Amino acid sequence: MDSTQVTWHAHAVVRPRGCVVWFTGLSGCGKSTVANLVDQKLHELGCGSFVLDGDNIRHGLNASPAMLAETFDDAFAQRFGLGFSALDRAENIRRIACVAELFCEAGVVALTAFVSPYREDREAARAAIERQGEEGDFIEVFVDTPLEICEQRDPKGLYKQARAGKLPGFTGIDAPYEAPASAEIHLAAGEKSPPALADEVIAYLRSQGKIR
């Protein structure tokens, strides 16, 4: 079977669409922390939401070749496992954009917390999500924390390893991070507390009619 034999089937139930809130920023910038606080606030408001966290996704859907090799043969693991090369990062973001779009179709606010360092990949995610819905379904949130603060936090010890040359290709050290040129929400994360940043996101969602 090839692609010409795959047919799109329309859903019998038409639901109000949710949206995708795409948190991007350096490792340690606070993406997951803020996303989870927003999730908590949305839950308290009675809004359906779910956090798609970069680390959590790497334990399943986008597992590494080494993790897949624990269950599958080497050929399978190498073909479908993802590392951290630019190409693997692109596929990581493509897959999660597809998953986030499904949440959006189900009327859920999908909160994604991924470094997603390349503008091209984030714009591809935006295009894929808005192609199925409409402009405004994809909300980019730049969690703008200076590199020096991220390094001071270093909750997983990754920056220390990268500086020691033990973690090549690490974003912000020897691999680039391309900051958003015009994110819908720009969080000055080095200056404000996580709860205050979460309130900014909630205020934006309310102003755009995404939540009440």
Active site amino acids: 116
Distance between CA atoms of 48 and 110, rounded to whole angstroms? Answer: 9
Contacts of 57 (CB under 8 A, 6+ apart): 92, 96, 114
The whole-angstrom separation of Cα 185 and Cα 23 is 9
